[in-house]
């Protein structure tokens, strides 16, 4: 039986190879295979991460039981929870229960909120998503245009100033920038609110009503801007470097010789190729931003996943901390996967083996 | 009227510590239908000169002086926009390293039609038809237009570039070392292509190269550059058989004989002059086996049947030519 | 090697970075003598009141905090943690990353797949949350912060070093050495490793920058070592006091110090980049 399977697989591979030789169909097929490979790897990574987290939380000095069960509960409830979570069973069995739980979305119960972790995360995740998406869009739009502009005017004072500025912002701690912006715009000038996501006491009909309300946007500006400023530096500098490389290329010179206008050349030839590394960075940056949202959300008291993990860790709410971490990890892995696939798709030169 | 008439053109590069005169008072006349070879060692200014003609110099380069008359218009005086319109339509370029001249993220066909659509008011389909015909001309499969540059071999890329240069039937094609980056066998294939193309083409060409054999195979006129100046110009057979300038004589010796007789190859000792320094007199002075005191002054032009040259000892040229064939003449102490 | 040093000396950016870095190291080394007060000591006025949120004066060059502590002293002593964490993390990360990269790239095969597989998995772990969890589980000591930083950061350098090792492996001089009977380990460490050093140095510098940033982030979130004075913690106290708006002398110096030190790391890293990759030099 296994031999037959092997033969079938070999035949399938041979088929794909034939398509590959044909050239035209080749690339689409290989892309599919490549995506398959990367997805499998991502899934595997996720599994390993889940396992690492499982064992990490068992390293707590002291009673591992306190990991899952609130020590504040009475004995009876504790006993009940122990049975529910199988904490009286062996480690491998616990691991199996843990995995099964994750599969159905059960990440335990938060000590602080007395709610299922999954429920709390659900709300928080959307908040983080909105903040991260907004800030990244700003960061990349400004970064790409800025970077290509700087590169085009390379050597001028503007270029020097812009590059140094970008570098300095990248080295400044994002929470510090946030604190300063908060002090200036929220406190001194009182243009914008001091934190949080909405004004206390306000009520909205639905999630979408909320995020498009003026109140929400007012609260969103500062944290999004702070985060964007920090994230902006990398795409700007990267785009600039990339453009500088591309501008030296012969095909750019040929584009000039062909009589194209500067704008056409910059957009069509220079930026298009220069964008490749930046686009991949976008997905990677997104992954990093989700992890880094911890800081901005704390400064601005934005009720997102990042802030949640800090609160949970501080309050020793282990199920919450674990759940939040897993979720952030999932987001990171997903974004890395997207980055891999995007790059392979966009650059026809990338070998898909 | 000449198609291209360069009068005393000088091109200067600004460096961090001074300036470099890459092209020094060059005058050149090209008639319609001429295929002119532009030869010289690396750094003699030939690439700079052609970049100057189409005004594609890097930011630190500038046409310091001179007139570049092309089809009656002085290219040095027209606006950037007007020059842009002329590019490709009237003057096109075959680049040196086709390896990198095609943008890797666009299909080759698109890059060719781009040039066409920029200057002609045609539809995309019409432009693509033209591209197909061009590919036929250079011997590439039409289907290949849909491919990306990295799917082409070196020779194919060069042929695609050649095809592209013909797209708008320009009056002048400038070929910048079109075969240098290719291996020998492909080189001769490409040269054949170029020759075939030229027989069907009634415009002019400037073929820049450091390889005399290429010039011999393709051109009808040749200009020899040294130290930023054109030191000899004339009909290709005349110049190569009976060179007038010592440098040309030296060049001829450095290549295997065109007529096939076995000969010892003689090389010219030394290196080209440093053009960032202010130079007086004959540029070839340091390396010339016939240098004399009178060569320290700027030599005057000597006109001959098919061209001209600059040498202080012009009247002795027949004697010098004879001496140049002897290897010992070139054993000069530098 | 010597030529590498010469090149570095010529690199303006690298030199500036180095100067800044060395200045901080000197400050850190002499912080105890330089600091005018004990950073944790509450300062009192002559009348017995706490010197709360005082603007900079001749007594307190950088003013005082909400709790009445001298900011300048805090800044000076805080440099110790920054430099310590930065340097130790950087060295560890570079060491681990380089070795793994070398082994992976040179030996290839299963070893390579396993090691790079580990790296791939590490990339899935979000940096700061992981550090937070680790610190919360193991305790807020400095060594745990360093551990967290090192565990995650080595992944970056290993990939690059690996590809360097791969390219070098196939160079002819390695073939020659192999033919002369040298063992694999000898080849790896006597011949390939030295060539990889410039790239390693890049990661030493950039890891240092990242480490300092991470340490201050963890401290800012209140999860750092409460016994240690660190710039991040100063900002934590500043933020928690809700008085940050009123005290620019308290809010600005720690952030600026962090920025400068991190900047120096990146500047030196850039210099090493240009040394390792000559193409970059002609900009």
State the ipTM, two decimals: 0.87
Distance CA C120, CA A270 (A): 32
CA atoms within 13 Å, Cβ hemisphere of B212 = 21
Least Cα distance to A228 among A192, A178, A154, A185 occurs for: A178
**Cβ within 8 Å, pair A250-B101:** yes
Confidence of residue A6 (pLDDT cuts 50, 70, 90): very low
**Cβ within 8 Å, pair A348-B148:** yes
- In degrees to the nearest 10, what's the CA dihedral of C248, C251, C252, C254? 150
Least confident residue range of A64-68, A99-103, A215-219, C63-67:
A64-68
What was the pLDDT predicted at C21?
93
Residue among B87, B103, B148 minimizing CB distance to A251: B103
Question: ∠ CA(C261), CA(C264), CA(C267), 5° rounding?
Answer: 155
**Cβ within 8 Å, pair A23-B151:** yes
Summarised one tens digit per residue, pLDDT across range B82-102 is 888 888 888 998 887 777 888
**Cβ within 8 Å, pair A45-C120:** yes
Instruction: Please report all neighbours of A, defined by 3+ CB atom pairs within 8 A.
Output: B, C
Confidence of residue A24 (pLDDT cuts 50, 70, 90): very low
Please give the average per-residue pLDDT across A92-109, as a whole number.
Answer: 73
What was the pLDDT predicted at A349?
59
Residue count of chain A, please give it.
Answer: 353
Give me the residues of B, 121-150, that contact A with CB < 8 A.
146-148, 150
**Cβ within 8 Å, pair A187-C251:** no
**Cβ within 8 Å, pair A173-C127:** no
Share of chain A above pLDDT 90, in %: 11
Confidence of residue A12 (pLDDT cuts 50, 70, 90): very low
Kindly identify which residue of chain C lies nearest to residue A307, measuring between CA atoms: C221
What was the pLDDT predicted at B275?
78
Kindly identify which residue of chain C lies nearest to residue A172, measuring between CA atoms: C259
Please give the average per-residue pLDDT across A48-66, as a whole number.
Answer: 70
- A and B: touch, per 3+ CB pairs < 8 A? yes
Distance CA A78, CA A111 (A): 12
A18, A340, A344, B58, B106 from A27: Cα distances, Å: 12, 16, 10, 38, 15
Residue among A254, A260, A348 minimizing CB distance to B150: A348
Q: What is the pLDDT along chain C (283 residues), one digit of tens a residue?
A: 566 677 777 778 888 889 999 999 999 998 888 888 887 888 777 777 777 878 888 777 888 888 888 888 889 999 999 999 999 999 999 899 988 888 888 887 888 888 888 888 888 888 888 888 888 878 778 888 899 889 888 888 888 888 888 887 777 777 777 777 777 777 777 777 888 888 888 888 999 999 999 999 999 998 888 888 899 999 998 888 877 778 888 889 999 999 999 999 999 988 888 877 765 554 4
The CA distance from B83 to the nearest CA of chain A, in Å, is 8
The CA distance from C78 to the nearest CA of chain A, in Å, is 16
Q: List the domain boundaries for chain A.
A: 2-346
Interface with A, mutate which of B53, B101, B110 (most A CBs under 10 A): B101
Least Cα distance to B311 among B329, B290, B332, B334 occurs for: B290
**Cβ within 8 Å, pair B56-A348:** no
Q: Is pLDDT at A40 greater than 60 in this prediction? A: yes
Q: What's the whole-number average pLDDT of chain A? A: 77
Q: Which residues of A touch B (CB under 8 A)?
A: 23-24, 155, 249-251, 253-261, 268-269, 272-273, 276, 346-349
Task: Let me know: does B290 contact B313? Beta carbons within 8 Å.
Answer: yes
Least confident residue range of A200-214, A298-312, C207-221:
A200-214
Q: Which residues of C touch A (CB under 8 A)?
A: 120-121, 123-130, 132-139, 209, 213, 216-217, 220-223, 232, 235, 238-239, 244-245, 248, 251-252, 254-255, 258-260, 262-263, 266, 283
Please give the average per-residue pLDDT across A344-350, as a whole number.
Answer: 65
What was the pLDDT predicted at B19?
84
Q: Which fold has domain A2-346?
A: MetI-like fold (1.10.3720)
Kindly identify which residue of chain A lies nearest to residue B84, measuring between CA atoms: A259
Distance CA C217, CA C236 (A): 9
Residues of A within 8 A of C135 (CB-CB) are 313
The CA distance from B30 to the nearest CA of chain A, in Å, is 20
What was the pLDDT predicted at A203?
62
Confidence of residue A1 (pLDDT cuts 50, 70, 90): very low
Distance CA C84, CA C94 (A): 15
Residue among B105, B118, B119 minimizing CB distance to A348: B105
What was the pLDDT predicted at C235?
92
- C and B: touch, per 3+ CB pairs < 8 A? no
Summarised one tens digit per residue, pLDDT across range A259-288 is 888 888 888 888 888 887 887 778 888 888
Neighbours of B113 (CB within 10 A): 23
Interface with A, mutate which of C13, C221, C240 (most A CBs under 10 A): C221
Task: Let me know: does B105 contact A270? Beta carbons within 8 Å.
Answer: no
Least confident residue range of A51-60, A293-302, B173-182:
A51-60
> Is the model more confident about C4 or about A7?
C4
- The answer for residues whose C-beta is within 8 angstroms of residue B180's C-beta and 6 or more apart is B96, B97, B209, B210, B211
Give me the residues of B, 39-58, that contact A with CB < 8 A.
54, 56
The CA distance from B107 to the nearest CA of chain A, in Å, is 10
Confidence of residue A64 (pLDDT cuts 50, 70, 90): low
Interface with B, mutate which of A22, A28, A257 (most B CBs under 10 A): A257
Q: Which runs of consecutive H residues, i.e. helices, occur in C139-247?
A: 142-169, 172-179, 184-186, 193-220, 231-240
The CA distance from A131 to the nearest CA of chain C, in Å, is 17
- The answer for residues whose C-beta is within 8 angstroms of residue B32's C-beta and 6 or more apart is B3, B171, B202, B203, B204
The CA distance from C201 to the nearest CA of chain A, in Å, is 19
Q: What angle separates helix C109-123 from helix A24-56, to the nearest 10 degrees? A: 70
What was the pLDDT predicted at A10?
46
A187, A227, A261, C51 from C242: Cα distances, Å: 11, 21, 55, 17
Confidence of residue A67 (pLDDT cuts 50, 70, 90): low
Confidence of residue A3 (pLDDT cuts 50, 70, 90): very low
A-B interface: how many C-beta pairs under 8 angstroms?
70
- Pairing verdict, β B61-70 and B4-15: antiparallel
Residue among C121, C235, C248 minimizing CB distance to A176: C235
Residues of chain B with pLDDT under 50: none
């Amino acid at each position: 039986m296994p031999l037959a399977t092997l033969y079938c697989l070999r035949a399938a591979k041979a088929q794909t190879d034939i398509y590959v030789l044909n050239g035209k169909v080749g690339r689409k097929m290989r892309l599919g295979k490549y995506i398959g490979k990367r997805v499998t790897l991502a899934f595997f990574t996720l599994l390993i991460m889940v396992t690492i987290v499982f064992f990490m939380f068992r390293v707590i000095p002291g009673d591992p039981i306190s990991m899952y069960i609130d020590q504040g509960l009475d004995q009876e409830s504790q006993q009940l929870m122990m049975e529910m979570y199988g904490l009286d069973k062996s480690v491998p069995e616990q691991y199996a229960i843990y995995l099964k739980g994750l599969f159905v979305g059960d990440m335990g119960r938060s000590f602080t909120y007395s709610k299922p972790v999954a429920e709390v995360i659900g709300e928080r995740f959307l908040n983080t998503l909105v903040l991260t998406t907004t800030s990244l869009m700003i960061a990349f739009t400004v970064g790409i245009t800025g970077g290509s502009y700087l590169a085009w005017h390379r050597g001028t004072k503007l270029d020097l100033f812009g590059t140094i500025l970008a570098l300095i912002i990248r080295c400044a701690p994002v929470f510090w920038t946030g604190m300063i912006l908060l002090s200036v715009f929220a406190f001194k000038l009182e243009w914008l609110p001091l934190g949080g996501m909405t004004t206390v006491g306000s009520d909205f009909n639905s999630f979408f009503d909320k995020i498009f309300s003026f109140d929400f946007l007012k609260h969103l500006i500062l944290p999004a801007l702070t985060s964007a400023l920090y994230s902006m530096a990398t795409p700007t500098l990267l785009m600039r470097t990339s453009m500088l490389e591309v501008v030296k290329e012969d095909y750019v010179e040929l584009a000039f010789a062909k009589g194209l206008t500067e704008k056409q050349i910059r957009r069509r030839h220079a930026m298009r190729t220069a964008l490749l590394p930046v686009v991949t960075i976008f997905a990677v940056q997104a992954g990093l931003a989700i992890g880094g949202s911890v800081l901005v959300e704390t400064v601005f008291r934005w009720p997102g996943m990042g802030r949640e993990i800090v609160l949970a860790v501080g309050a020793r709410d282990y199920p919450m901390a674990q759940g939040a971490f897993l979720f952030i990890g999932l987001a990171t892995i997903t974004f890395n996967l997207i980055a891999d696939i995007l790059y392979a798709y966009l650059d026809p030169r990338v070998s898909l083996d | 009227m000449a198609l291209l008439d360069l009068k005393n053109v000088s091109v200067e590069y600004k460096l961090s510590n001074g300036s470099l005169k890459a092209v020094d008072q060059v005058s050149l006349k090209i008639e319609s239908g001429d295929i002119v070879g532009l030869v010289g060692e690396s750094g003699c200014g030939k690439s700079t000169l052609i970049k100057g003609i189409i005004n594609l110099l890097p930011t630190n380069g500038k046409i310091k002086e001179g007139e570049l008359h092309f089809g009656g218009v002085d290219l040095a005086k027209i606006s950037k926009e007007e020059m842009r319109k002329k590019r490709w339509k009237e003057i096109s370029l075959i680049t040196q390293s086709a390896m990198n001249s095609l943008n890797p993220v666009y299909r080759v066909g698109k890059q060719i039609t781009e040039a066409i659509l920029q200057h002609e008011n045609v539809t995309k389909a019409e432009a693509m038809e033209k591209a197909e015909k061009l590919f036929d001309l250079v011997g590439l499969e039409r289907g290949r237009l849909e491919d990306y540059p990295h799917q082409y071999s070196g020779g194919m890329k060069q042929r695609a570039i050649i095809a592209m240069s013909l797209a708008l039937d320009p009056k002048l094609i400038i070929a910048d070392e079109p075969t240098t980056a290719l291996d020998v066998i492909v080189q001769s294939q490409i040269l054949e292509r170029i020759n075939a193309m030229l027989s069907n083409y009634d415009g002019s060409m400037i073929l820049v190269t450091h390889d005399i054999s290429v010039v011999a195979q393709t051109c009808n006129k040749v200009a020899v550059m040294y130290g930023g100046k054109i030191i000899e110009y004339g009909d290709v057979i005349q110049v190569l058989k009976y060179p007038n300038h010592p440098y040309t004589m030296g060049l001829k010796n450095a290549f295997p004989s065109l007529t096939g007789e076995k000969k010892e190859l003689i090389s010219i000792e030394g290196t080209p002059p440093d053009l960032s320094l202010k130079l007086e007199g004959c540029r070839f002075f340091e390396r010339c086996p016939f240098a004399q005191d009178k060569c320290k002054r700027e030599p005057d032009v000597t006109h001959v049947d098919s061209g001209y040259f600059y040498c202080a000892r012009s009247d002795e040229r027949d004697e010098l030519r004879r001496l140049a064939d002897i290897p010992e003449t070139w054993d000069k102490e530098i | 090697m010597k030529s590498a040093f010469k090149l570095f000396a010529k690199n303006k950016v690298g030199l500036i970075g180095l100067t800044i870095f060395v200045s901080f190291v000197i400050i850190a080394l002499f912080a105890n003598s330089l600091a005018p007060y004990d950073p944790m000591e509450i300062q009192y006025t002559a009348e017995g009141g706490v010197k709360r949120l005082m603007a900079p004066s001749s007594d307190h060059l950088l003013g005082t905090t909400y709790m009445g502590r001298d900011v300048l002293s805090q800044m000076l002593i805080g440099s110790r943690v920054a430099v310590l964490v930065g340097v130790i993390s950087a060295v560890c990360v570079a060491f681990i990353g380089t070795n793994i990269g070398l082994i992976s790239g040179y030996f290839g095969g299963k070893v390579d797949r396993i090691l790079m597989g580990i790296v791939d998995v590490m990339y899935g772990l979000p940096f700061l949350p992981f550090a937070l969890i680790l610190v919360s589980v193991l305790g807020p000591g400095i060594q745990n912060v360093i551990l967290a930083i090192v565990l995650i950061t080595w992944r970056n350098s290993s990939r690059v070093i690996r590809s360097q090792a791969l390219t070098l492996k196939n160079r002819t001089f390695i073939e020659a050495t192999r033919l002369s009977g040298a063992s694999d380990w000898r080849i790896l460490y006597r011949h390939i490793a030295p060539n990889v050093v410039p790239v390693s140095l890049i990661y030493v510098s950039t890891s240092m920058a990242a480490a300092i940033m991470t340490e201050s982030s963890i401290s800012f979130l209140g999860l750092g070592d409460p016994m240690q004075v660190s710039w991040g913690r100063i900002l934590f106290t500043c933020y928690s006091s809700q008085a940050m708006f009123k005290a620019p002398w308290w809010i600005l110096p720690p952030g600026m110090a962090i920025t400068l030190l991190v900047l120096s790391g990146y500047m030196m890293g850039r210099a090493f980049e240009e040394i390792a990759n000559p193409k970059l030099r002609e900009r």
